[in-house]
Amino acid sequence: MVPNKIVAHYQDGRILKGYTVDFLPTKINFHLTPADAPQQSKPLEVWVAQLKALFFVKSLAGGPQPHQRRQEFEPGKPVVGRKVRVAFKDGEILVGTTQGYDASRPGFFIFPADTGSNNERIFVVRGATQQVSFI
């Protein structure tokens, strides 16, 4: 199984970068092997309820220079899914599309509107949001 490159943003502000092979949106926890961990080290257990969001990224190093995130869709480019705006309790805003939002679930995936982003998809933890609205 190919590990996913992830950046886990906690509600308390902590950030962990690494790899996972067992994240499922329906599970309450998963394991993360930190990017800087020595070979054969034991993965950390991560509890989804403590997270703000889980970013599935192209690169753990990010881009070569700071990226100014765009919060709008490219004009004329078709989108798949419903356009959504997520406002987190800490004030951060994410804009993207979703195909599986259900307010009764603990979280949902969005695909960022910004195609130049390092993020491939983001699992948003519902408990960390202030408002989720379709746009």
Report the alpha-carbon distance of residue 110 to residue 42 in Å, rounded: 30
89: left (phi over 0), alpha (psi -120 to 50) or beta: alpha
DSSP secondary-structure letter at 75? Answer: T
**Confidence category of residue 123, pLDDT binned at 50, 70, 90:** very high
- Over residues 50-74, the mean pLDDT reads 81
DSSP 81-117: SEEEEEEETTS-EEEEEES---TTSSEEEEEES-TTS
pLDDT (tens digit per residue) in 50-59: 999 999 999 9
